[in-house]
């Protein structure tokens, strides 16, 4: 069983979008019994809240379920229990690496590391930009490549 954790700042926009999209892709390939997916935020402001209305709206447009998703904060144990910890931006990477210290963790990477053709390194935060469509396109394309990458280790 491989475990994937998507991480952003508040766990209401980017990381739940990635979680929902990745869940759908994993299910479509018949790998739901092999890969588990979750998301979390580095901050605690939105713990217990559903995804942002903009995230819900774009996921509805593309018929991607986010049923039952609630924001939570990354905890220390996540760093050891997940095989892949996929952050949305450099700030999240910094927080995760600081939390990890010298402990062994799952593979920590930025989501856009899996989209080499992109000329940007960080997934823009639509909480501030309002551009949920751009984020959906980046996340969707990156998740295809991430899934291909993970499948090589199954």
Catalytic residues: 8, 14, 125
Q: For residues 136 and 18, what is the distance between their CA atoms, to the nearest angstrom?
A: 8
CB 82 within 8 A of CB 3: yes
Q: What is the DSSP string of 26-77?
A: HHHTT-TTTEEEEEEESS-TTTTPPPPHHHHHHHHHTT---TT----B--HH
Span between the terminal Cα atoms of the chain, in Å: 8
3-state secondary structure of 120: coil
């Amino acid at each position: 069983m491989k475990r994937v954790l998507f991480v952003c700042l508040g766990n209401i926009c980017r990381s739940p979008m990635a979680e929902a999209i990745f869940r759908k892709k994993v299910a479509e390939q018949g790998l739901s019994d092999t890969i588990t997916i979750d998301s979390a935020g580095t901050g605690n402001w939105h713990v217990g809240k559903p995804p942002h209305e903009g995230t819900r709206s774009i996921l509805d447009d593309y018929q991607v379920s986010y049923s039952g998703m609630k924001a939570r904060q990354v905890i220390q144990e996540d760093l050891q229990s997940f095989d892949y910890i996929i952050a949305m931006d450099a700030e999240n990477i910094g927080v995760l690496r600081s939390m990890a210290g010298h402990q062994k963790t799952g593979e920590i990477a930025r989501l856009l590391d899996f989209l080499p053709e992109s000329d940007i390194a960080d997934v823009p935060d639509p909480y501030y930009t309002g551009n949920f469509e751009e984020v959906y396109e980046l996340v969707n394309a990156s998740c295809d490549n991430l899934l291909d990458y993970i499948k090589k280790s199954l």
